[in-house]
Amino acid sequence: MASSVIHSPSTSPSSSTPFYSHTKFSKVCNFTQNAKILSPSSLFGKTLTIITNDLYSKPMNKKKSSILVKCSVSSPALPAALLFDCDGVLVDTEKDGHRVSFNDTFTERGLGVSWDVDLYGELLKIGGGKERMTTYFNQTGWPEKAPSDDAERKEFVASLHKRKTELFMTLIEKKLLPLRPGVAKLIDQALAKGVKVAVCSTSNEKAVSAIVSCLLGPERAEKMQIFAGDVVPKKKPDPAIYTLASTTLGVDPASCIVIEDSAIGLAAAKAAGMKCVVTKSGYTAEENFENADAVFDCIGDPPQERFNLDFCGSLVAKQLAS
């Protein structure tokens, strides 16, 4: 396994003094293939001595020579906050949760509307359930039972969404939809290190709270903040929800890590000036995530862990250094 440290001496070395001690870093010095690599936590507070022969592009006296470099190792970086999207990130809720609840609501109201799997996947490009229904009805025609007045239509959609949320919460309370792998692990790692944790979602606040309290448990829930639904006037891909979260939590956006599963969520996080890790979900696997800082199929639990809090810290360190 190879690794590297970064070192930049303030003066050029002399042949008589091959030992240099500096704390500013800018040039990469490679470890040898058989070097023993320690974790950042094991190095914290200690001094590392490295022998390298490639610190300078021009070898001293035209001969390869070893230089002893003493590097002080600082504390591993930690995010100030982890901000999770809800649907598709905490739980893969869309296909067998929200879609089913929308259809059950349409059936109860006798609207003659049903969203199949593919259609709902297209509708997910619109942030927010009420906005999703409004766009669909505007494009395909409003049901006969819907009012014609714009203000009354808004109330009509709100009532449909309220009933849909009730049906969805029943699914969550029965624990018919499980947490995605690694979610509880990553949240526990963050809370144990004093990292703030929040959920930022376009979904109804009651639905998000149900997922957090029922599936993550009350002990975790009481340590997490929820920003959801109509708490902001514009929904993802607008960055408002993430900007509100960083302001409320009192943290620098550059120190936040967002966990998202969709292109619109990624766009919102980036517009808010945050690093974003994508964990693909059932509906979003083929979306374009080229602007993401990392993309995985899930967070993952050991021994199939994809990433952890240390990885998130490395992204923060990169963000602050850039």
Return the active site residues. 85, 87
> What is the distance between the alpha carbons of residues 43 and 75, in angstroms, rounded to a whole number?
8
- Buried b / exposed e across 292-309, counting CB within 10 Å, b at 16+? bbbebebbbeeeebbbbb
Q: Which of 269, 266, 264 is nearest to 278 (CA)?
A: 266
- How far apart, in whole angstroms, are the C-alpha atoms of residue 318 and residue 6? 13
CB atoms within 10 A of CB 286: 8
- Our separate counts of H helices and E strands in the chain read 11, 11
Does residue 45 come out as left (phi exceeding 0), alpha (psi in the -120 to 50 range) or beta? left
Which secondary-structure segment (H or E) carries 77? none
CA 3 to CA 167: how far, in whole Å?
A: 52
Chain-centroid distance, C-alpha 106: 33
CA–CA gap between residue 83 and residue 265 (Å, rounded): 11
Half-sphere exposure of residue 191, counting CA atoms within 13 Å on the CB side?
A: 16
- Give the tokens for residue 256: 């936040």
Q: CB under 8 Å to 265, separation ≥6 — which residues?
A: 85, 236, 237, 258, 276
| Biggest alpha carbon–alpha carbon distance for the chain | 91
10 Å CB burial of residue 23 (0-12, 13-18, 19+) is exposed
